[in-house]
Structure 1
Amino acid sequence: MVFQRAFLFLVLMCATVMVHGQPADVSPRYQRFLLQHVKGGMTIQNCQHVMSNLRLTGTDGKCKWKNTFILANPVDVKPICGGGGTRRNSNLFESNNPFSVVICQRTGGDYHPNCKYRGSSSTKRVVIACDGKWPVHYDGDIDIGITDGK
């Protein structure tokens, strides 16, 4: 019985990789990228709430200084790692088209739960790191001069 369950699990994992074409080691990094940086319904008013829930920290353990959310869905962002992006180096790609983004900037508090954030929005070309055809890290953005200043 245990062998049958293990075999079934292995078959399902292989089928998942074959269907989605995503290696198992890429999946957690891709999911983390989506959670931290791709939110179609994000607004500048939601920065405090979303950043509090994500509890993002820098390498020093302090609340993350800034986080950018791409206002799109995953199927719009994934092509940056292919024909929808221009290779900048071995794994960094710049989007060919601009995206609306919300930038949440820390305005106070160093450690959770005291972090305070204020949001602004802009339109930028985004730079992401890819593993194969999968976005796994938001590396930055290119200002194209369109912002609402909020």
Structure 2
Amino acid sequence: MALHGPRPASLLPLLLLLAASLALSAGQNWNPLNDLFRKRHVDSSPILNVASINAYCSKMMWRRALYGRLSNTFIIAKPEDINKVCSTEGLAKGPYRYESKNPFDIIVCIYNHFTLSYTGLKDKQKIVLSCWKGLPALYIKHVQPDLMPVP
């Protein structure tokens, strides 16, 4: 006789359906690609000093279940500000691609196979995102901001 007990995996589709219905009833578009994008690339907590950037990368990659990826870029900004790249604060650069008008603080985390840890590089650059239903879905790349000509 088989044991019958709780099966939490059978509740997952119901929870996803509940989340989708709540988002739709609130008048918002539910975009699962945006949820994944936010998990992988968005962080609104500020970084204070350069020495802690490596620790930040290791901690964030572990916390977000991304540990072992060769590289990942975190955008240090509020989700609302990043969402604007797909509308008013972005320039169309192809189908579904938008480049930010202004640079963002970013941290690029690069995996080191020898130390099994991450090295973080902090910079301020424009970002290129792929957008779907008016929300970021994929992080494409970062680009150097345009330099002002010297008079």
Percent identity, aligned pairs only, is 24
In structure 1, the partner of 2:29 is 22
Q: Distance in 1 between matches of 2:79 and 2:136?
A: 9
How far 1:71 sits from its partner (Å)?
0.6
Q: CA deviation at 1:145?
A: 8.2
Cα deviation, 1:60-88, whole Å, max 9, x if unaligned, reads xxx22111111101111001001110111
Tell me the distance in 2 between the aligned counterparts of 1:96 and 1:145.
10
Q: Name the amino acid aligned to 2:137.
A: V
Shift of 1:18: 5.2
Match of 2:88 among 83, 90, 95: 83
CA RMSD of aligned residues (A): 2.6
User: What is aligned with 1:60?
Assistant: none
Gaps of 5+ in 2: 1-13, 48-52
Size of the alignment, in residue pairs?
125
Q: What CA distance in whole angstroms lies between the structure 1 residues aligned with 2:27 and 2:40? A: 21
Q: Give the TM-score, by structure 1 length.
A: 0.72
How far, CA to CA, are the matches of 2:40 and 2:90 in structure 1? 20
Q: Deviations over 1:121-146 (max 9, x none)?
A: 00010011100201111111102389
Residue pair 1:37, 1:138 contacting (<8 A) in 2 also: yes
Q: Deviations over 1:37-79 (max 9, x none)?
A: 010115423101111233327xxxxx22111111101111001
CA distance in 2, matches of 1:20, 1:131: 17
Please show how residues 35-50 of structure 1 align to structure 2 within 5 Å.
Answer: 35-41=39-45, 43=47, 44=53, 45-50=55-60
Cα deviations by residue, 1:89-128 (Å, 9 ceiling, x for unpaired): 111110111101111111125xxxx841011100010011
- Given the two structures, how large is their TM-score scaled by the length of structure 2? 0.72
User: Which protein is bigger by CA-based radius of gyration?
Assistant: 2
Query: Which letter does structure 1 place at the counterpart of 2:130?
Result: A
- Closer, same or farther in 2 for the Cα pair 1:87/1:72, shift >3 Å? same
Q: Indicate the residue corresponding to 1:103 in structure 2.
A: 108
Asked if 1:51 is matched to 2:51, the reply is no
Cα 1:18–1:83 shift into 2, 3 Å: farther
Flag the 1:76–1:20 CA change in 2: closer, same or farther, 3 A: farther
Which runs of at least 4 in structure 1 moved beyond 6 Å after TM superposition? Answer: none
User: 2 CA distance for matches of 1:50 and 1:119?
Assistant: 11
Question: What residue ranges of structure 1 are gaps of 5+ in the alignment?
Answer: 1-5, 58-62
